[in-house]
Structure 1
Amino acid sequence: MDKKGTKTIAVNKKARHDYFVEDAFEAGIELYGTEVKSLRQGQVNLKDAWCDIENGELFIKQMHISPYEKGNIFNRDPLRVRRLLMHRREILSLFGKMKQQGYTLIPLSLYFRNSKVKLELGLCKGKKLYDKRSDMAERDAKRDIDRAMKQKNF
């Protein structure tokens, strides 16, 4: 997300740990005013969120946007189901992949692009415990190599 005009709000780090991300998509999200103000303050949690397709429409569930402190009666339920905005043919192709190949849709990150809130969705397949362990071992080995190289340069 190093493009001009984008500002990252939240990243779902747990998603890359728990799933193999096969493909990524961008979707708009239907929000109310106080929710956007809350997002500008960074009060969002994507950790347990997931996406579902119902009646040809894409929805995100369990995404927690904290109520805006000055929003009083205009605040919405923090865990309400929100509709995602994508083209119908994209939604239908995702639906086909989810049903046939056992994929799931997981939100990877939430960001502003030119004052519009966008959500990066990942078409993911679950990792087994041994996959998670091997990823952690690779990451630790890479970190050790980088440390050794840095010390050698001094």
Structure 2
Amino acid sequence: METKKSLKAFTSILTKVAGLVFFAFLAISLGVIFGTLFKDWVSEDPLSPVQGLNEPYQEPLTIKLPEQQQQRPSDTSSSYLYTDEYFLEEKPVSFKVQVGPFQLREEALQVASLLQSEGYPVFVSRGQPCYVQVGAFSNPQNANNLQNELLSKGYAAYIKEE
């Protein structure tokens, strides 16, 4: 009788420990997954549209599909195209459209806030004098178009070529 009670107590404890170990591994796995997915949110200042002077601007990568895509032979009724590989094409950023310079960082942040409310992506430098970067392009014509647009709105915009 006593062995049944001790066996039941032992299995109860063993079940609880196994459950705790399972949930610990689940929590660690989720932490690793979400940490990997959202590491940029944690490493950057989420409340400020600021980019440091020494941080290079990274233009989003574009996906270039291969020249020849073939339909899956087993399903000829589907209109979807299938391919095995995607090639990422990286273009160097050579032309940055900036507004400024500003002697006080607060002035630059105010202008950045205005530009952001108008729908422009902005980055504010940390050094003195401050500038507000509104765009970065590999094509000089795109940079020129944005500069003209900002000049027509009254901003002191210029293109910095790298």
Q: Kindly indicate which of the two structures has a greater share of residues assigned to helix.
A: 2
Q: TM-score normalized by structure 1?
A: 0.25
Rg bigger for which structure?
A: 2
Q: Kindly indicate which of the two structures has a greater share of residues assigned to strand.
A: 1
Q: TM-score normalized by structure 2?
A: 0.24
Higher relative contact order (CA 8 A, sep 6+): 1
